[in-house]
Structure 1
């Protein structure tokens, strides 16, 4: 019997993921509060019950992850899949040619929710929302319960509206990172710009 001690929710703009942690691992619940359909993609070890699925606006879906699971979630948008699950997405496509990502990660730009679950009920979980691979949708990770004082993290602003024109892709549906777009040290925080002091925000 699993006992649960921590409920964590990941919200993407209006796309949401909850995590319920217990001695058997964690339950991730994805909730789509967007005004459009989102196709979550999943990459992690060990592999969960699915690596990608459709989530219509207003709907939710839960997945169980074992203790020690490590991986990432992202929301694909503008997808077109046929009745057999073959197709592709306009943003954050995983390149598998199917609704299931099957071990493939998101093609940038993609907003990522990254997790490393502790190896047991007394060990810490780590999570973040990363824009290192660019941005395509708003995302929030929110924790309810537990004793670790875990807080909400993520990006609630629609960065596509403020994306510089040279970084826009998918007709403004996503925003590339400057590192991916230009590959220079000042945007990739490497070389002479490899420290927090030298790698400063840019336009």
Structure 2
């Protein structure tokens, strides 16, 4: 191979990397115990790491997303799996699988959502399905007036209203249900005649979520200061 052919090959490799990779996500576990991250791609998008990865306390694991990727990340806690990847998690479980493979979460759970290159990246934290652990999104090297961190590191379990508490076998509060999950009423679920931003309003319960994580969605039509955008960013997804 001649010198110019070698350099041409390098250029093609770099171009290929640039065309196929959009953003790097760094999943960072600052919790005291292990977190099993769940990853679910949107319709037609890959479930990176086959949808699940174990992150020990203090570790950071990088995941590269392709162009135009959309999907969501969440944390699972108190998980036990056999050597075939079958088991269960106390919170955030995905059908008893270590690698979720496209399966979604079992509420209550805190979720980070992304839609990349549309034409900017859209991202937000949702507590619409409840809360199980602190989760934050921190962009790096991106640009844009609304390219800002979403820091949700308050322990909402401490202030979770009694009727929403999700407890373990020892009676400890390990997650906080949404009012929709707890009561299944249209006014809390934004369903039926409440399925619009005009009729579905913040409740006393969603306001508890909002006070703990002001930049997160606290109910379905919570559209104020909850969606952020970046151009050309990578992201830390920080648990705790």
Does TM-score exceed 0.5, indicating one fold?
Answer: yes
C-alpha contact 1:108 1:176 (8 A) present in aligned 2: yes
In structure 1, what is the equivalent of residue 70 of structure 2?
A: 70
Larger radius of gyration: 2
Once structures 1 and 2 are overlaid, which stretch shifts more, 141-150 or 157-166? Answer: 141-150
In terms of fraction of residues, the more helix-rich structure is: 2
User: Matched residue of 2:78: which SS?
Assistant: coil
Q: CA deviation at 1:197?
A: 6.8
Q: Which structure 2 residues correspond to residues 1-20 of structure 1 after superposition, within 5 A?
A: 1=14
Normalised by the size of structure 2, how large is the TM-score? 0.70
Q: CA offsets, 1:65-100, max 9 Å, x none?
A: 1011010000000101123322110001011x2210
- 2:47 is matched with 47
| Residue 141 of structure 2: aligned partner | 145
Q: Is the 8 A contact 1:193 1:199 kept in 2?
A: no
Count of aligned positions: 182
| Deviation (angstroms), 1:198 | 5.3
Taking the aligned partners of 1:55 and 1:64, their CA distance within structure 2 comes to 16
CA 1:146/1:192 → structure 2, altered by over 3 Å: closer, same or farther? Answer: closer
* Aligned equivalents of 1:72, 1:192: Cα separation in 2: 26
Work out whether residues 188 and 200 of structure 2, in 8 Å CA contact, stay in contact via their aligned partners in 1: no
Please tell me whether the aligned partners of residues 112 and 129 of structure 1 are also in contact (alpha carbons under 8 angstroms): yes
Specify every segment of 5 or more residues in structure 1 that has no aligned partner in the other structure, as ranges.
5-21
Aligned to 1:19: none
Question: What is the aligned-residue RMSD (CA, Å)?
Answer: 2.1
Corresponding residue for 2:129?
Answer: 133
Partner of 1:8: none
The aligned counterpart of 1:111 is 110
Does the Cα contact within 8 Å between 1:52 and 1:99 map onto a contact in 2? yes
Corresponding residue of 1:201? 203
**What is the TM-score when the length of structure 1 is the normalising length?**
0.82
Higher RCO by CA contacts (8 Å cutoff, separation 6 or greater): 2
| 1:196–1:156 Cα change, 3 Å | farther
Q: Distance in 1 between matches of 2:148 and 2:74?
A: 20
Distance 1:2 1:201 in 2: 50
Gapped regions of structure 2 (runs ≥ 5): 1-13, 206-240
Distance in 2 between residues matched to 1:196 and 1:128, nearest whole Å: 22
